[in-house]
Structure 1
Amino acid sequence: MTTPTDTSPEQLYRHSLRLLLEKDIPAWIALWAEDGVMEFPFAPPGWPDRLEGREAIAAYMRPYPDHIDLRDFPDLRIHRTTDPETLVVEMRGVGRVTGTGAPFDMTYIAVVSVRDGRFVSYRDYWNPLAVQAPGLDFAGSGAR
């Protein structure tokens, strides 16, 4: 991938997943527009529900690999919408919780919008009850 503008929204999203598996958070953050917004509509109390701007997203995501060792994104389904720059994504993230070694298996649905080859909006619909499961004690860490 040479520049983000050379890729489709689907290619950009798939590339972003590879970066997460490689734990290359700086490169993942570089895929975002400066004014990008990440939202968590089902965030539990004490967790952020909206991050505005690349820097806020970066601060949130930097510690992610310290808390979750992602190994795969099975069951990935990317759906195109009538807006060519918006995708709906269904997937699972699997791996281990680094502090406990407990299995991590989270199902996600995301609505993702891209402008000029960069993420501008990412609404992450994940299960907040999963962070209360035994072995998943990373609340407040900035990781999901």
Structure 2
Amino acid sequence: MSANTTPADLYRHGLRLLLDKDIPAWVDLWDENGIFEFPFAPADRPQRLVGKTAVAEYMRHYPDHINLHDFPYVEIHQTTAPETIVVEMRGVGRLVATGSPFDMSYIAVVTVEDGLITRYRDYWNPLALQDAAVDFAGSSA
């Protein structure tokens, strides 16, 4: 991706990488000092990750826990700040450990500068997975 890539195009590309389970390439979409926030995270889970290395550590086991099949609904809203988008989406797949269906709705507020994600606020419901024992990076959602 280039510095001229729109935030919406970068985000869509990132979704494709998640479906392909290419976590290293997804992490490469991040700025070295990017911030990943989870405003609804339970007390025992991270609420804020700072830096590309922290994001990589958090995401490295994602495909071991959730096998994403599709994002059947993705709506991207441009804000008055051209570098920031709001995304409404739904991800579906299976929980690897149990084979149970995974069906989660998300809202994300994402800021992209110079073609890289600098801030990502992920408004998803981690309590929906609480009973599934999904645990990334030791204690992450």
TM-score, length of structure 2 as denominator length: 0.94
Q: Which runs of 5+ in 1 are unaligned?
A: none
User: Does structure 1 residue 14 correspond to structure 2 residue 8?
Assistant: no
Equivalent residue, structure 2, for 1:73: 71
Instruction: Letter of the 2:134 partner, please give it.
Output: F
Q: Which runs of 5+ in 2 are unaligned?
A: none
- Secondary structure of 1:43's aligned partner: coil
The answer to which of 122-131 and 49-58 deviates more is 122-131
In the TM superposition, residue 142 of structure 1 has moved relative to its aligned partner by 5.5
Contact 2:4 2:114 in 1 (8 A): no
Q: Which of 127, 135, 139 is the equivalent residue of 1:139?
A: 135
When residues 24 and 143 of structure 1 are mapped into structure 2, their CA distance, relative to the original with a 3 A threshold, is farther
Runs of 4+ with deviation above 6 angstroms: none
Instruction: Letter of the 2:135 partner, please give it.
Output: A
- Secondary structure of 1:4's aligned partner: coil
- Secondary structure of 1:74's aligned partner: strand
In the TM superposition, residue 75 of structure 1 has moved relative to its aligned partner by 1.3
When residues 142 and 64 of structure 1 are mapped into structure 2, their CA distance, relative to the original with a 3 A threshold, is farther
Contact 2:88 2:108 in 1 (8 A): yes
Q: Which string of whole-angstrom CA distances, capped at 9 and with x for unpartnered residues, describes residues 79-103 of structure 1?
A: 0000000000000110000011000
Output aligned runs, 1:90-129, within 5 Å.
90-129=88-127
**What is the total number of aligned residue pairs between the two structures?**
140
